[in-house]
């Protein structure tokens, strides 16, 4: 078994779990829960991954893999269904670009959340949170325009996007913006409608944040 150092709230862990599930590898992944944040790191995890982040994957021979994109690359080598998740050629390159956009949205969203949840009030800097939320909004707009939600494929672009939308609904980092709760759905109506239609997919159901 490979060990996946994880948290049930991490959208990057979720992406790895969904890919594993879609590739038929879920039963090869042992989920090992870790509790951490940038200000309360996990000493044992820091030994495994210098960045102290999850997901981190421990292979059977003890090799440690990070980050989520490297882990996904490894899972793809283990499956004969890899092309369903990552097509070959130019299409594959654009799929990886979309994954980078969804991951970048999450990086910005998570940084803004750390700023508002972790940082003591007197040290908070609203211009910085605004800058991160602007990135989230731009990435969401970009995904709305660039993800083709027609068709039944569930490739890495759609998987990463679904994990990003699921995290946005779970943490609601844009709620303080002008249109409140509805804000993100107004930015990406097509994507959120599509997300509703796929959220009962077994790989997504099995990895819901909670
Ligand atoms: N680029 C990384 C991002 C992973 C990441 O940001 N994980 C968060 C949890 S969602 C984390 O471990 N945060 C702890 C920290 O930043 O110290 C990946 O794709 O795996």
Q: pLDDT digits over 44-102, tens only? A: 999 999 999 999 999 999 999 999 999 999 999 999 999 999 999 999 999 999 999 99
Q: What is the 3-state secondary structure (H, E, C) of 30-99?
A: EEEECCCECCECCHHHHHHCCCCCCCEEECCCCCEECCHHHHHHHHHHCCCCHHHHCCCHHHHHHHHHHH
Domain boundaries, the chain: 2-83, 86-201
What's the pLDDT at 180?
76
Q: How far apart are CA 45 and CA 39, in angstroms?
A: 14
What's the pLDDT at 159?
98
Q: pLDDT digits over 131-188, tens only? A: 999 999 999 999 999 999 999 999 999 999 999 999 999 999 998 887 777 889 999 9
Nearest protein Cα to ligand 1, atom 13: 53
Give, as one character, the DSSP assignment of residue 177: S
Q: pLDDT digits over 25-58, tens only? A: 999 999 999 999 999 999 999 999 999 999 999 9
Site to substitute for ligand 1 among 8, 12, 14, 107, most atoms within 8 A of C-beta: 12
Nearest protein Cα to ligand 1, atom 1: 67
CATH number assigned to the domain with residue range 86-201, chosen from the 4 options 1.20.1050.10, 2.40.50.140, 1.10.3720.10, 3.40.50.300: 1.20.1050.10
How far apart are the CA of 59 and the centre of ligand 1, in A?
Answer: 19
How far apart are the CA of 53 and the centre of ligand 1, in A?
Answer: 5
Percent of the chain topping pLDDT 90: 95
> Is 185's C-beta closer than 6 angstroms to any atom of ligand 1?
no
Q: How far apart are CA 150 and CA 129, in angstroms?
A: 34
User: Taking phi first (over 0 means left), then psi (-120 to 50 degrees means alpha), and beta for anything else, what does residue 3 get?
Assistant: beta
Q: How far apart are CA 33 and CA 144, in angstroms?
A: 33
116: Cβ contacts below 8 Å, ≥ 6 apart: 124, 129, 173
How far apart are the CA of 37 and the centre of ligand 1, in A?
Answer: 9
What topology is assigned to 2-83 in CATH?
A: Glutaredoxin (3.40.30)
């Amino acid at each position: 078994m490979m060990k996946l150092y994880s948290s049930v709230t991490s959208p990057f862990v979720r992406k790895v779990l969904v890919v594993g599930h879609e590739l038929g590898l879920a039963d090869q992944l042992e989920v090992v829960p870790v509790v951490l944040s940038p200000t309360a790191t996990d000493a044992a995890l820091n030994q495994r991954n210098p960045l102290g982040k999850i997901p981190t994957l421990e292979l059977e021979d003890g090799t440690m893999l990070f980050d989520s994109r490297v882990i996904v690359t490894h899972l793809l080598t283990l499956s004969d269904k890899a092309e369903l998740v990552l097509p070959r050629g130019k299409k594959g390159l654009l799929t990886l670009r979309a994954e980078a956009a969804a991951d970048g949205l999450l990086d910005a969203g998570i940084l803004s959340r750390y700023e508002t949840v972790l940082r003591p009030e007197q040290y908070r800097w609203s211009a910085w949170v605004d800058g991160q939320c602007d990135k989230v909004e731009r990435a969401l707009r970009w995904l709305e325009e660039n993800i083709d939600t027609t068709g039944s494929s569930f490739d890495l672009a759609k998987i990463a996007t679904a994990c990003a939308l699921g995290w946005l609904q779970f943490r609601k980092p844009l709620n303080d913006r002008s249109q409140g709760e509805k804000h993100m759905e107004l930015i990406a109506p097509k994507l959120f409608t599509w997300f509703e239609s796929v959220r009962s997919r077994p790989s997504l159901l099995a990895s819901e944040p909670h």
